[in-house]
Amino acid sequence: MQQFDQIIARLPYSKPFLFVDKLHAVDENGVEGSYTFPEDSAFYKGHFANRPVTPGVILTEVMAQIGVVCLGIFLATDALDNDLEIALTSTQVDFFRPVFPSETVLVRSTKDYFRFHKLKCKVEMLNSNGELVCRGTIAGMMKSKNHA
Dihedral Cα 113, 118, 124, 127, nearest 10 deg:
140
Q: Number of C-alpha atoms within 13 angstroms, CB side, residue 63?
A: 32
State how far the alpha carbon of 17 is from the alpha carbons of 38, 65, 133, in Å: 12, 10, 20
Catalytic residue among 24, 47, 117, 147: 47
For residue 39, with 0-12 CB atoms within 10 Å meaning exposed, 13-18 middle and 19 or more buried, which class applies? exposed
For residues 29 and 111, the answer to whether their CB atoms sit within 8 Å is yes
Q: Which residues pair with 124 in a beta bridge?
A: 108, 135
47 carries an active-site annotation:
yes
CA-derived radius of gyration, the chain: 15
Active site residues: 47
